[in-house]
């Protein structure tokens, strides 16, 4: 019993720590990305707004298709992949050289960014169960707020330095948080993936087998019981007589009477 309870507690602590690291990177990015794009990449405010709007639309449209991948490989495995996906995206973000590259990079990041939160909620439900899910998500939200604040404070150091590499360091710092978060999640060995799929398949197969066996058993038993009841029990349902059987019976009764 102790070992069974220890694993959900360990996963809960790991998910909370991973969310704090992730959100600290988000705080870095939110506080410093616009300054990086306008001062280092030399994009206009209109270009930045357009690119982020397109990225948001891509993220919205791809949330369901990407989350469906989790149904095949497991939500836990998908969450780890999304962390490394965003790691690669933000490394590229730190070295964009113009508007076209900026659009490509933000579209790449958007594919794995917006869906990450719903996938995390699914992972929490699978890992800790429904009873602990609400409490765990409350802890995650609290630590995310703290992480965002910590990230924003760190960005102030880059703003004070005000050099191209100080702003790039903000973006690379965000990428580093995805690396740390992904490695932490990978080490937790979250439930899901092939084992979960095999378990669902096994359960479905066993359920179908049990259902067919039960159906045959119930049908056979019911058939024997109904037959015995029709023949030997006055309390059973009236027998269904065919027309010629009924005529033969009436003829026999008439002959007996005469």
Supply the pLDDT for residue 246.
Answer: 41
Q: What is the pLDDT along the chain (258 residues), one digit of tens a residue?
A: 444 455 778 888 999 999 999 999 999 999 999 999 999 999 999 999 999 999 999 999 999 999 999 889 999 999 999 999 999 999 999 999 999 999 999 999 999 999 999 999 999 988 888 778 888 999 999 999 999 999 999 999 988 999 999 999 999 999 999 999 999 999 988 866 444 444 444 444 444 545 554 545 455 444 444 444 443 443 444 444 444 444 454 445 444 444
CA 88-90-93 angle, to 5 degrees, is 115
Instruction: Tell me if 121 is assigned to some domain.
Output: yes
Please, are residues 174 and 26 in contact by the beta-carbon 8 Å criterion? yes
Instruction: Tell me if 194 is assigned to some domain.
Output: yes
7: exposed, middle or buried (C-beta count within 10 Å: 0-12, 13-18, 19+)?
A: middle
Instruction: Tell me if 216 is assigned to some domain.
Output: no
Say which CATH number the domain at 163 has: 1.20.1250.20
Instruction: Tell me if 255 is assigned to some domain.
Output: no
Q: Left (φ > 0), alpha (ψ -120 to 50) or beta: where does 233 sit?
A: beta
Supply the pLDDT for residue 9.
Answer: 84
Give per-residue pLDDT as tens, 85-125.
999 999 999 999 999 999 999 999 999 999 999 999 999 98
Q: Left (φ > 0), alpha (ψ -120 to 50) or beta: where does 88 sit?
A: alpha
Instruction: Tell me if 41 is assigned to some domain.
Output: yes
Side-chain half-sphere CA neighbours of 142 within 13 A = 7
Instruction: Tell me if 165 is assigned to some domain.
Output: yes
Q: How far is CA 36 from CA 24, 31, 162, 170, in A?
A: 17, 10, 10, 9
Supply the pLDDT for residue 201.
Answer: 44
Supply the pLDDT for residue 131.
Answer: 78
Supply the pLDDT for residue 241.
Answer: 41
* Interhelix angle 99-113/75-93, nearest 10 degrees: 160
pTM for the whole structure:
0.72
Task: Return the closest-CA partner of residue 143 out of 21, 38, 12.
Answer: 21
Instruction: Tell me if 111 is assigned to some domain.
Output: yes
Supply the pLDDT for residue 128.
Answer: 82
Instruction: Tell me if 211 is assigned to some domain.
Output: no
Query: What is d(CA 79, CA 70) in angstroms, rounded to the nearest whole number?
Result: 8
Q: Where in the sequence is the domain holding 28, given as residue range(s)?
A: 2-198
- The number of folded domains in the chain is 1
């Amino acid at each position: 019993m102790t070992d069974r309870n220890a694993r959900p507690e360990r996963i809960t602590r790991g998910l909370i720590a991973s969310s704090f690291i992730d959100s600290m990177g988000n705080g870095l990015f939110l506080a410093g990305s616009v300054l990086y794009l306008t001062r280092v990449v030399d994009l206009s405010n209109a270009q930045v707004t357009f690119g982020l709007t397109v990225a948001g639309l891509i993220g919205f449209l791809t949330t369901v298709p990407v989350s469906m991948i989790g149904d095949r490989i497991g939500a836990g495995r998908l969450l780890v992949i999304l962390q490394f996906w965003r790691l690669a995206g933000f490394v590229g973000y730190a070295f964009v050289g113009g508007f076209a590259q900026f659009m490509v990079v933000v579209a790449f990041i958007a594919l794995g960014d917006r869906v990450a939160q719903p996938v995390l909620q699914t992972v929490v439900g699978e890992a800790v169960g429904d009873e602990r899910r609400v409490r765990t998500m409350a802890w995650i939200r609290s630590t995310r707020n703290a992480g965002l604040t910590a990230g924003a404070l760190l960005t102030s150091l880059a703003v004070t330095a005000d050099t191209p590499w100080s702003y790039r360091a903000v973006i690379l710092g965000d990428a580093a948080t995805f690396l740390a978060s992904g490695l932490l999640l990978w080490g937790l060995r979250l439930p899901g993936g092939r084992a979960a799929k095999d378990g669902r398949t096994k359960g479905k197969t066993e359920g179908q087998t049990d259902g067919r066996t039960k159906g045959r058993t119930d049908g056979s038993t019911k058939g024997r019981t109904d037959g015995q009841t029709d023949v030997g029990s006055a309390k059973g349902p009236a027998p269904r007589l065919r027309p010629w059987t009924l005529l033969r019976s009436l003829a026999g009764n008439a002959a007996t009477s005469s």
